[in-house]
Amino acid sequence: MPELPEVETIARGLDAAVGGSRFRRIKVHREEAVRPAEPADFRAALRGRCVERVSRRAKWLVAQLDDGGRWLTQLRMTGRFTWGPVSPLRSAPHLSVSFLMDSPTGVLRFYDVRRFGRMWVVDPEAWSGLDERLGIEPLSEGFTPDTLAAQLARSKAPIRNLLLDQRRLAGVGNIYANEACYRARLDPRRPAGSLKPQEVRALHAAIRKVLSAAITRRGTTFSDYRDILGGQGGFQNKLEVYGRDGQSCRRCRGTVERTVMAGRSAFFCADCQS
Protein backbone atom coordinates (compact mmCIF):
# COMPACT_ATOMS: atom_id res chain seq x y z
CA MET A 1 0.00 0.00 0.00
CA PRO A 2 1.46 3.36 -1.00
CA GLU A 3 2.58 5.50 1.94
CA LEU A 4 3.85 9.06 2.16
CA PRO A 5 6.94 8.69 -0.10
CA GLU A 6 5.05 6.80 -2.82
CA VAL A 7 2.09 9.20 -2.82
CA GLU A 8 4.50 12.16 -2.80
CA THR A 9 6.28 10.73 -5.86
CA ILE A 10 2.98 10.27 -7.69
CA ALA A 11 1.79 13.76 -6.70
CA ARG A 12 4.97 15.31 -8.11
CA GLY A 13 4.57 13.30 -11.29
CA LEU A 14 0.95 14.36 -11.68
CA ASP A 15 1.80 17.97 -10.98
CA ALA A 16 4.44 17.95 -13.71
CA ALA A 17 2.10 16.17 -16.13
CA VAL A 18 -1.27 17.88 -15.64
CA GLY A 19 -0.55 21.01 -13.60
CA GLY A 20 -2.09 23.82 -15.68
CA SER A 21 -4.03 21.36 -17.80
CA ARG A 22 -7.83 21.33 -18.27
CA PHE A 23 -10.27 18.42 -18.14
CA ARG A 24 -11.90 18.01 -21.52
CA ARG A 25 -13.62 14.66 -21.09
CA ILE A 26 -13.95 12.22 -18.20
CA LYS A 27 -15.05 8.64 -18.50
CA VAL A 28 -15.95 6.53 -15.47
CA HIS A 29 -15.41 2.90 -16.43
CA ARG A 30 -16.15 1.57 -12.96
CA GLU A 31 -18.62 3.37 -10.77
CA GLU A 32 -17.17 2.24 -7.45
CA ALA A 33 -14.09 4.42 -8.03
CA VAL A 34 -16.21 7.58 -7.58
CA ARG A 35 -18.79 6.35 -5.07
CA PRO A 36 -20.83 7.59 -3.33
CA ALA A 37 -21.11 10.23 -6.10
CA GLU A 38 -23.01 9.47 -9.28
CA PRO A 39 -20.59 9.21 -12.22
CA ALA A 40 -22.50 12.03 -14.00
CA ASP A 41 -22.00 14.36 -11.02
CA PHE A 42 -18.33 13.43 -10.72
CA ARG A 43 -17.78 14.20 -14.41
CA ALA A 44 -19.71 17.47 -14.17
CA ALA A 45 -17.62 18.61 -11.19
CA LEU A 46 -14.40 18.25 -13.21
CA ARG A 47 -15.35 18.97 -16.83
CA GLY A 48 -13.86 22.28 -18.00
CA ARG A 49 -11.96 22.78 -14.75
CA CYS A 50 -8.24 23.51 -14.76
CA VAL A 51 -5.83 21.69 -12.43
CA GLU A 52 -3.79 24.41 -10.75
CA ARG A 53 -1.46 22.09 -8.89
CA VAL A 54 -1.26 18.56 -7.51
CA SER A 55 0.15 17.88 -4.09
CA ARG A 56 -0.06 15.31 -1.31
CA ARG A 57 -1.76 15.40 2.08
CA ALA A 58 -1.29 12.30 4.28
CA LYS A 59 -1.73 9.42 1.79
CA TRP A 60 -4.11 11.41 -0.42
CA LEU A 61 -3.48 13.03 -3.77
CA VAL A 62 -4.90 16.55 -3.77
CA ALA A 63 -5.48 18.39 -7.04
CA GLN A 64 -6.38 22.02 -6.56
CA LEU A 65 -8.93 23.18 -9.14
CA ASP A 66 -9.41 26.66 -10.59
CA ASP A 67 -12.80 27.02 -8.84
CA GLY A 68 -11.20 26.46 -5.41
CA GLY A 69 -12.40 22.86 -5.14
CA ARG A 70 -10.19 19.82 -4.70
CA TRP A 71 -10.13 16.59 -6.64
CA LEU A 72 -9.01 13.99 -4.09
CA THR A 73 -7.73 10.47 -4.70
CA GLN A 74 -6.99 7.69 -2.24
CA LEU A 75 -4.93 5.04 -4.01
CA ARG A 76 -5.41 2.48 -1.23
CA MET A 77 -3.98 -0.95 -2.17
CA THR A 78 -3.44 -0.94 -5.92
CA GLY A 79 -4.69 2.36 -7.36
CA ARG A 80 -2.34 3.68 -10.01
CA PHE A 81 -2.22 6.57 -12.50
CA THR A 82 -0.66 6.58 -15.93
CA TRP A 83 -0.10 9.60 -18.15
CA GLY A 84 0.55 9.46 -21.85
CA PRO A 85 -0.35 10.72 -25.28
CA VAL A 86 -3.88 10.29 -26.59
CA SER A 87 -4.01 6.79 -27.96
CA PRO A 88 -6.71 4.24 -28.69
CA LEU A 89 -7.16 1.62 -25.97
CA ARG A 90 -6.89 -1.91 -27.31
CA SER A 91 -7.97 -3.48 -24.06
CA ALA A 92 -7.79 -2.05 -20.60
CA PRO A 93 -8.27 -4.51 -17.77
CA HIS A 94 -8.62 -2.79 -14.41
CA LEU A 95 -9.17 0.66 -15.96
CA SER A 96 -11.42 2.60 -13.57
CA VAL A 97 -11.48 6.20 -14.77
CA SER A 98 -9.89 8.06 -17.68
CA PHE A 99 -9.40 11.78 -18.18
CA LEU A 100 -8.75 13.49 -21.50
CA MET A 101 -6.73 16.62 -20.75
CA ASP A 102 -6.12 19.79 -22.77
CA SER A 103 -2.94 21.87 -23.01
CA PRO A 104 -0.89 19.89 -22.54
CA THR A 105 -2.99 17.28 -24.28
CA GLY A 106 -2.83 13.74 -22.98
CA VAL A 107 -4.74 11.01 -21.23
CA LEU A 108 -4.59 10.35 -17.54
CA ARG A 109 -5.80 6.89 -16.64
CA PHE A 110 -6.59 5.45 -13.24
CA TYR A 111 -6.21 1.67 -12.91
CA ASP A 112 -7.15 -0.31 -9.83
CA VAL A 113 -6.79 -4.10 -9.70
CA ARG A 114 -8.31 -4.56 -6.26
CA ARG A 115 -10.82 -1.70 -6.59
CA PHE A 116 -10.33 -0.14 -3.15
CA GLY A 117 -9.14 3.21 -4.55
CA ARG A 118 -11.55 6.16 -4.36
CA MET A 119 -11.71 9.65 -5.88
CA TRP A 120 -14.08 12.52 -5.28
CA VAL A 121 -14.43 16.29 -5.64
CA VAL A 122 -15.03 18.62 -2.70
CA ASP A 123 -15.60 22.36 -2.27
CA PRO A 124 -13.10 24.47 -0.25
CA GLU A 125 -15.12 24.21 3.00
CA ALA A 126 -15.42 20.45 2.82
CA TRP A 127 -11.70 20.23 2.09
CA SER A 128 -10.70 22.26 5.14
CA GLY A 129 -12.94 20.02 7.26
CA LEU A 130 -11.16 16.92 5.96
CA ASP A 131 -7.73 18.51 6.23
CA GLU A 132 -8.32 19.44 9.89
CA ARG A 133 -9.03 15.85 10.83
CA LEU A 134 -5.70 14.60 9.49
CA GLY A 135 -2.61 14.58 11.69
CA ILE A 136 0.52 16.66 11.29
CA GLU A 137 2.76 16.19 8.24
CA PRO A 138 6.00 14.58 9.49
CA LEU A 139 8.14 16.52 7.00
CA SER A 140 6.58 19.89 7.84
CA GLU A 141 8.34 22.52 9.95
CA GLY A 142 5.65 22.18 12.60
CA PHE A 143 6.63 18.59 13.34
CA THR A 144 9.29 18.90 16.04
CA PRO A 145 10.59 16.54 18.76
CA ASP A 146 8.22 18.37 21.13
CA THR A 147 5.21 17.70 18.87
CA LEU A 148 6.12 14.03 18.76
CA ALA A 149 6.72 13.91 22.51
CA ALA A 150 3.24 15.33 23.12
CA GLN A 151 1.71 12.67 20.90
CA LEU A 152 3.56 9.82 22.59
CA ALA A 153 3.10 11.04 26.14
CA ARG A 154 1.02 8.90 28.48
CA SER A 155 0.12 6.42 25.74
CA LYS A 156 0.34 2.73 26.56
CA ALA A 157 0.00 1.79 22.87
CA PRO A 158 3.09 0.29 21.23
CA ILE A 159 5.18 2.91 19.40
CA ARG A 160 4.66 1.22 16.03
CA ASN A 161 0.86 1.35 16.36
CA LEU A 162 0.85 4.96 17.40
CA LEU A 163 2.97 5.98 14.39
CA LEU A 164 0.28 4.48 12.13
CA ASP A 165 -2.50 6.65 13.59
CA GLN A 166 -3.33 9.05 10.73
CA ARG A 167 -5.05 11.50 13.11
CA ARG A 168 -1.71 12.04 14.86
CA LEU A 169 0.91 11.64 12.14
CA ALA A 170 -0.20 11.84 8.52
CA GLY A 171 1.12 9.53 5.84
CA VAL A 172 3.30 7.11 7.81
CA GLY A 173 2.31 3.50 7.17
CA ASN A 174 3.65 0.14 8.23
CA ILE A 175 6.83 0.10 6.13
CA TYR A 176 8.19 3.44 7.33
CA ALA A 177 6.96 3.07 10.94
CA ASN A 178 9.00 -0.14 11.28
CA GLU A 179 12.01 1.36 9.51
CA ALA A 180 11.92 4.47 11.72
CA CYS A 181 11.87 2.37 14.91
CA TYR A 182 14.88 0.40 13.66
CA ARG A 183 16.84 3.53 12.78
CA ALA A 184 16.07 4.98 16.22
CA ARG A 185 17.09 1.65 17.85
CA LEU A 186 13.68 1.37 19.51
CA ASP A 187 11.69 -1.82 20.01
CA PRO A 188 8.40 -1.15 18.13
CA ARG A 189 6.48 -2.99 20.87
CA ARG A 190 7.45 -0.54 23.60
CA PRO A 191 4.67 1.60 25.10
CA ALA A 192 4.85 5.01 23.43
CA GLY A 193 4.68 6.81 26.76
CA SER A 194 7.84 5.06 28.02
CA LEU A 195 10.26 6.88 25.69
CA LYS A 196 12.88 9.11 27.27
CA PRO A 197 13.47 12.58 25.75
CA GLN A 198 16.60 11.48 23.87
CA GLU A 199 14.71 8.49 22.47
CA VAL A 200 11.91 10.76 21.25
CA ARG A 201 14.51 12.95 19.54
CA ALA A 202 16.07 9.89 17.90
CA LEU A 203 12.65 8.70 16.69
CA HIS A 204 11.76 12.15 15.36
CA ALA A 205 15.01 12.31 13.40
CA ALA A 206 14.58 8.73 12.15
CA ILE A 207 11.04 9.36 10.86
CA ARG A 208 12.14 12.42 8.88
CA LYS A 209 15.29 10.77 7.59
CA VAL A 210 13.66 7.58 6.39
CA LEU A 211 10.78 9.42 4.68
CA SER A 212 13.12 11.88 2.94
CA ALA A 213 15.44 9.09 1.81
CA ALA A 214 12.49 7.14 0.44
CA ILE A 215 11.17 10.17 -1.47
CA THR A 216 14.65 10.65 -3.00
CA ARG A 217 14.45 7.04 -4.22
CA ARG A 218 10.88 7.50 -5.45
CA GLY A 219 9.33 5.12 -2.92
CA THR A 220 9.25 1.40 -2.24
CA THR A 221 7.93 -1.11 -4.78
CA PHE A 222 7.03 -4.59 -3.54
CA SER A 223 4.50 -5.45 -6.19
CA ASP A 224 1.97 -2.91 -7.44
CA TYR A 225 3.30 0.55 -6.77
CA ARG A 226 4.51 2.42 -9.87
CA ASP A 227 4.98 6.11 -10.61
CA ILE A 228 2.85 7.71 -13.34
CA LEU A 229 5.31 6.76 -16.06
CA GLY A 230 5.37 3.12 -14.94
CA GLY A 231 8.68 3.29 -13.08
CA GLN A 232 9.33 1.35 -9.89
CA GLY A 233 10.57 2.88 -6.66
CA GLY A 234 14.10 2.16 -5.44
CA PHE A 235 13.78 2.16 -1.66
CA GLN A 236 13.01 -1.56 -1.35
CA ASN A 237 16.78 -2.12 -1.56
CA LYS A 238 17.33 0.19 1.43
CA LEU A 239 14.90 -1.43 3.86
CA GLU A 240 16.62 -2.63 7.03
CA VAL A 241 13.85 -4.65 8.69
CA TYR A 242 10.57 -4.51 6.77
CA GLY A 243 10.09 -7.85 4.99
CA ARG A 244 13.55 -9.04 6.12
CA ASP A 245 12.43 -11.46 8.85
CA GLY A 246 14.82 -14.37 9.30
CA GLN A 247 17.65 -12.42 7.66
CA SER A 248 20.59 -10.99 9.50
CA CYS A 249 20.54 -7.46 10.92
CA ARG A 250 22.97 -5.25 8.97
CA ARG A 251 23.89 -3.35 12.12
CA CYS A 252 24.59 -6.07 14.68
CA ARG A 253 24.34 -9.43 12.85
CA GLY A 254 21.37 -10.41 15.04
CA THR A 255 18.30 -11.83 13.33
CA VAL A 256 15.41 -9.70 12.12
CA GLU A 257 12.19 -10.93 13.71
CA ARG A 258 8.57 -10.59 12.73
CA THR A 259 5.60 -10.36 15.03
CA VAL A 260 1.97 -9.32 14.55
CA MET A 261 0.67 -6.18 16.26
CA ALA A 262 -2.85 -4.86 15.77
CA GLY A 263 -3.31 -7.34 12.93
CA ARG A 264 -0.26 -6.20 10.97
CA SER A 265 3.31 -7.44 10.81
CA ALA A 266 6.00 -5.66 12.77
CA PHE A 267 9.69 -6.23 12.02
CA PHE A 268 12.61 -5.55 14.32
CA CYS A 269 15.97 -6.78 15.55
CA ALA A 270 15.65 -7.85 19.18
CA ASP A 271 19.43 -7.50 19.65
CA CYS A 272 19.88 -3.83 18.80
CA GLN A 273 16.41 -2.34 19.32
CA SER A 274 15.42 -1.89 22.94
Q: With contacts defined by CB under 5 A, name the span among 4-12, 42-50, 89-97, 249-257 that binds Zn ion.
A: 249-257
Taking the least distance from each CB to Zn ion, the nearer of 209 and 251 is 251
Is-catalytic flag, 3? yes
Our finding on whether 257 is near Zn ion (CB under 5 A) is: no
Residue 2 known to be catalytic: yes
Contact 270, 248 (CB under 8 A): no
* Min CB(214)–Zn ion separation in Å: 21
Output the 3-class SS for 58-90. CCEEEEEECCCCEEEEECCCCEEEEEECCCCCC
Query: Does 271 engage in binding with Zn ion (CB under 5 A)?
Result: yes
Q: Indicate whether 254 belongs to the interface with Zn ion (CB under 5 A).
A: yes
Q: Is the dihedral of CA 128, 23, 105, 119 positive or negative?
A: positive
DSSP state letter for 274: -
29 sits near Zn ion (criterion: CB under 5 A) = no
The yes or no reply on residue 186 touching Zn ion (CB under 5 A) is: no
Q: Contact region for Zn ion (CB under 5 A) — 59-67, 189-197, 233-241, 248-256?
A: 248-256
Residue-wise DSSP of 209-270: HHHHHHHHTT---SSS---TTSPPPSGGGG-SSTT-TTSBPTTTS-BEEEEEETTEEEEEET
Return the DSSP state at 37. Answer: S
Does residue number 153 form part of the binding site for Zn ion (CB under 5 A)? no
Q: Does the annotation mark 264 as catalytic?
A: yes
Q: Which is nearer to Zn ion, 20 or 254 (CB)?
A: 254
- The reply on whether position 272 binds Zn ion by CB under 5 A is yes
Judged by CB under 5 A, the number of residues near Zn ion is 7
Q: Determine which one of 12, 59, 70, 168 is catalytic.
A: 59
Q: Do the Cβ atoms of 34 and 42 come closer than 8 Å?
A: yes
| Phi, psi values for residue 27, rounded to 5° | -125, 125
Cβ 70 to Zn ion shortest distance, Å: 43
* 59 is known as an active-site residue: yes
Q: How far is the C-alpha of 274 from the C-alpha of 268, rounded, in Å? A: 10
What residues line the site for Zn ion (CB under 5 A)? Answer: 249, 251-252, 254, 269, 271-272
Which amino acids are annotated catalytic?
Answer: 2-3, 59, 264
